Structure 1
């Protein structure tokens, strides 16, 4: 079965929240078959820094929606945006 890599921009609820903290929460919250393969920070404005992560997961109906629900439910996450998805 094919795999997908999704790049997501994740905004914290509070500018004081460090992207590294959110990244650790994401790693803990993801199911075993999903992995963070890359991450970085993107300054937004007024001290707010977004976390940008690449997440590798299998291609399966409904799995992307499930991933986005998991990301949105993480403590300290204000909003998420899928920047790109591509098939491996």
Structure 2
């Protein structure tokens, strides 16, 4: 079994959400067995900025589910979406 790197797009509820506080909350919510690689900001429109959270997880079935559930439960998050999954060599 290997590892994969997954990118999860975290969409704030509004442009008024404090991104630095959201990043700290994301860092504290990363589940066991998941490694946070980095968080990038992606401007969307009208001042709204999404966060692309890159995590490393095992390539077993349902590998990103724990991280998805944890991130979706954060206050101020509108929705999350896995946008990319790549196998690490």
**Which bracket does the TM-score occupy, shorter chain normalised?**
0.7 to 0.9
Give ranges in structure 2 of 5+ residues lacking alignment. none
Write the distance in 1 (CA, Å) between the matches of 2:2 and 2:32: 17
Write the distance in 1 (CA, Å) between the matches of 2:21 and 2:35: 16
Aligned residues: 88
Quote the residue 2:50 is aligned against. 50
CA shift digits 1:24-79 (9 cap, x unpaired): 11111112321221121111111111111111112222232222111111121111
| Off by >4 Å, runs of 4+ in structure 1 | none
Task: Indicate conservation of the 8 Å contact 2:31/2:66, yes or no.
Answer: no
Indicate the RMSD between aligned Cα atoms, in angstroms: 1.4
Answer with 61-70 or 35-44: which moved more. Answer: 61-70
Three-state SS of the structure 1 residue aligned to 2:66 is helix
Superposition TM-score, scaled by structure 1 size: 0.87
Quote the residue 2:6 is aligned against. 6
Quote the residue 2:29 is aligned against. 29
CA-CA distance at 1:10 after TM superposition: 0.9
